[in-house]
Amino acid sequence: MEKSSFRRRWFGWLALTTFGTLLVVPATRHLFTTQARMETLTYSLDTDATVESAAAARLPDDYPVQLAHAAELPMIATDTLSVSSFIRDNCPYS
Q: Is the pLDDT of residue 76 over 50?
A: no
* In the chain, domain spans: 1-45, 47-94
DSSP H or E stretch at residue 39:
helix 26-39
Collapsing DSSP states into helix, strand and coil, what is residue 63? helix
Q: What is the pLDDT of residues 9-60, one digit of tens each?
A: 999 999 999 988 988 988 888 888 888 777 877 666 666 667 777 888 888 8
- Residues 84, 21: Cα–Cα separation, whole Å: 42
The reported pLDDT for the residue numbered 22 is: 85
